[in-house]
């Protein structure tokens, strides 16, 4: 029986782990990987204390901080169910069952798919959802980035150093990324911008060879060897039962990261908290851990 189980080890989960260790709680961390989407970011200029740092480097520093407390993290373990029964929170994973007095769900988000013809067939055959992981595979090639937010521009800025030409395709009339990122992309001279443009289909025999896009009534064919899908993400919350969620599937929490079920808390990008940012997720992870500690103190002897 654990005091606390933390599901996920991105910025929110790691911060929650550091705070739980400092409170001497008996806890366990369970995750598929360490770092989450933060480890996929390349150009981080807005995390306090660092004028510039790459995502993998920042996550490595987070890990080092966590390891100072000798915290055990069970990696490559997928949580399939979180539910509360008889005052105890029960968890199931693809490897074993757990029980705890409290749980913090910090499972983050999953990349959203385009949902067009050819995407499933050519996934990992030229279609990728992670520029940080896969950009070097497309050195000297013409590629496309789908999306207009910070994630899409982050991928574009990485590819500027690697690819020959980059088509940036956004379905909305305007890009929503930070202006400084858009300016850097324009200054490179390598990026061709398409706004108010939809992807119709992706084609190729065994590897991506190109794509069809539609702007207004005009259909155009782009010959590309790589397609980076950066159109946002969906919360990884489907395994949590009973908690209130909003229309986007995000777990609804109050300012103390508490859900509608006592003992189940949530933190970071999986919740309805405003702004999906690394620094925000860290703060939410700290709050969730402190709230879990407070809950344990208040309910001691009752469970």
In 190-250, which ranges are E strands? 191-194, 198-203, 210-215, 218-223, 226-229, 233-235
Determine the pLDDT at residue 44: 85
Q: pLDDT tens for residues 274-287?
A: 999 999 999 999 99
* Active site amino acids: 130, 133-134
Contact 269, 186 (CB under 8 A): no
Structure tokens at 200: 């119709």
Handedness of CA 171, 155, 175, 274 (dihedral sign): positive
Q: Is the pLDDT of residue 238 over 80?
A: yes
- What pLDDT was estimated at residue 226? 96
Give the chain's domains with CATH numbers: 2-111+233-299 (3.50.50.60), 127-229 (3.50.50.60)
Indicate the length of the chain as a whole number: 303
- How confident is the model over 48-64, as a mean pLDDT? 93
Residue 301: pLDDT band with limits 50, 70, 90 = low
According to the model, what pLDDT value does residue 133 have?
77
Partner residues linked to 165 by β-bridges: 142
Residues 261 and 251 sit within 8 Å (Cβ to Cβ): no
What is the pLDDT at residue 39? 85
pLDDT digits 0-9 by tens, 96-117: 999 999 999 999 999 899 999 9
Query: How large is the average pLDDT for residues 212-240?
Result: 95
- pLDDT band of residue 187 (cuts 50, 70, 90) is very high
Residue pair 225/208 in contact (Cβ under 8 Å)? The answer is yes
Res. 303: pLDDT tops 50 = no
User: What pLDDT, on a 0 to 100 scale, did the predictor assign at position 132?
Assistant: 77
Instruction: Say if residue 173's pLDDT is above 60.
Output: yes
Residue 246 pLDDT greater than 50, yes or no: yes
Burial class (CB in 10 A: 0-12, 13-18, 19+), 289: buried
Segment 258-270, tens digit of pLDDT: 999 999 999 999 9
Taking residues 205-232, report their average pLDDT. Answer: 95
Alpha helices in 5-123 (DSSP H): 11-22, 55-67
Cβ–Cβ < 8 Å for 179, 263: no
The structure tokens listed for 114 are: 């385009």
Distance CA 13, CA 6 (A): 6
pLDDT category of residue 40 using cuts at 50, 70 and 90: confident
State pLDDT tens for residues 120-144: 999 989 999 988 778 889 999 999 9
Say whether pLDDT at 37 is over 90: no
pTM summary value: 0.84
Q: Mean pLDDT across the chain, nearest whole number?
A: 95
């Amino acid at each position: 029986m654990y005091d606390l189980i933390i599901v996920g080890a991105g910025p929110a989960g790691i911060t929650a782990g550091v705070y739980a260790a400092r409170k001497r709680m008996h806890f366990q961390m369970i995750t598929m990987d360490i770092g989450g989407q933060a480890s996929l970011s390349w150009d981080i200029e807005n995390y306090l204390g660092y004028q510039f740092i790459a995502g993998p480097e920042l996550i490595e520093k987070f890990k080092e901080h966590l390891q100072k407390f000798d915290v055990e993290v069970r990696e490559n373990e997928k949580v399939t169910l979180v539910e509360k029964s008889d005052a105890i929170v029960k968890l199931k994973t693809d490897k074993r069952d757990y029980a705890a007095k409290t749980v913090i769900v910090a499972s983050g988000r999953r990349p959203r798919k385009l949902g067009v013809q050819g995407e499933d067939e050519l996934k990992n055959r030229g279609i990728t959802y992670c520029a940080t992981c896969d950009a070097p595979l497309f050195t000297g090639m013409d590629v496309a980035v789908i999306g207009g937010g910070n994630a899409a521009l982050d991928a574009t800025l990485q590819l500027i150093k690697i690819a020959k030409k980059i088509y940036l395709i956004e379905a909305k009339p305007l890009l929503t990324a930070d202006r400084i990122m858009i300016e850097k992309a324009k200054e490179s001279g390598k990026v061709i911008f398409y706004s108010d443009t939809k992807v119709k289909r992706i084609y190729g025999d065994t590897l991506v060879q190109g794509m069809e896009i539609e702007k207004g009534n005009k259909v155009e064919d782009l010959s590309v060897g790589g397609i980076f899908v950066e159109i946002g993400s969906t919360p990884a919350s489907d395994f949590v039962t009973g908690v209130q969620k909003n229309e986007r599937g995000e777990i609804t929490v109050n300012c103390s990261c508490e859900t509608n079920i006592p003992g189940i808390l949530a933190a970071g990008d999986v919740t309805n908290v405003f702004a999906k940012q690394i620094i925000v997720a860290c703060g939410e992870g700290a709050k969730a851990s402190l709230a879990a500690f407070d809950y344990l103190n208040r309910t001691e002897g009752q469970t």
